[in-house]
Amino acid sequence: MTYAWLSLIFVAVAAAVLLAALLARGASRRALVARWWLPVLMSGTVVMILTAVFDNVMIRSGLMAYSSSVTSGLLIGVAPLEDFAYPVAGLILLPALWLLVGGRQAHDR
């Protein structure tokens, strides 16, 4: 299995959980998306910059290495593009879990 397939699985699971959370919210999902898109976008920007910096530092220092046979070959610095899927999955999954696990009471106040 390549890192691209593994990354796709993580993002797909996160997207499925988000979809389930939004469907569970019913009629209030439009207001919720309108309220959350900017904080998620801002967080995503910061997380992607941090991922780019620290992944490159860790790879250049030898803490981790990737075989070119299991990556796409697309790089940001020396970090494979697939590394950026995990933060994206986290940015999708965390708000979804917040909604599913207990955020309803906090959001409805």
pLDDT for res 108: 53
Query: Phi and psi for 75 in degrees, rounded to 5?
Result: -125, 150
Chain-centroid distance, C-alpha 28: 23
pLDDT for res 106: 47
| Structure tokens given for 75 | 């790089």
Q: What is the pTM of this model?
A: 0.80
Q: Tell me how many domains the chain contains.
A: 1
45/106 Cα distance (integer angstroms): 25
Q: How far is CA 4 from CA 14, 44, 88, in A?
A: 15, 20, 13
Domain that holds residue 26: 3-108
Q: What parts of the chain have a pLDDT lower than 70?
A: 25-27, 29, 102-109
